[in-house]
Copies of this chain bind each other. A is one copy, B any other.
Amino acid sequence: MSDIARTPEPPYYAVIFSSHRTEGDNGYGEMADRMLELAARQPGFLGVESVREGLGITVSYWDSLESISEWKRNTEHREAQRLGRKKWYSNFRVRVAKIEREYGI
């Protein structure tokens, strides 16, 4: 189970990835695990929260827009993006955001 990310004082950045999956696994589970592992090793990665219940929402947190761009250009990640568009997702939106305020319990 995904946990709440421990992020630093804002400002920092987030990628909100909202998606619907196609039917069947088709290698998706393995790729998703691998991408989480790979993202966590990227420079500037701050944390991730991920949930699916029909709709999937994955929010990854980053120290800068440059770190997000580098992750987007990662070779293995590019291949996952290609397969995602081709066979894993029936629909998705990616939103890149600047976190301006944060509070909690």
Interface residues of A (CB under 8 A from B): 1-5, 7, 10, 14, 16, 18-20, 49-57, 59, 65, 85, 89-105
Chain B positions within 8 Å of A99 at CB level: 16, 95-97
SS class of chain A's interface: helix, strand, loop or mixed? Answer: strand
Decide: A18 and B1 in contact? CB cutoff 8 A. no
Contact A92 B4 (CB under 8 A): yes
Asked if A53 and B14 sit within 8 Å, CB to CB, the answer is: no
**Nearest neighbor of A3 in chain B, beta-carbon distance:** B55
Cβ contact of A105, chosen from B4, B55, B91, B104, cutoff 8 A: B91
Neighbour of A85 across the interface among B2, B3, B105, CB < 8 A: B105
Contact: A53 with B55, CB < 8 Å? no
Q: Does the CB pair B105–A100 fall under 8 Å?
A: no
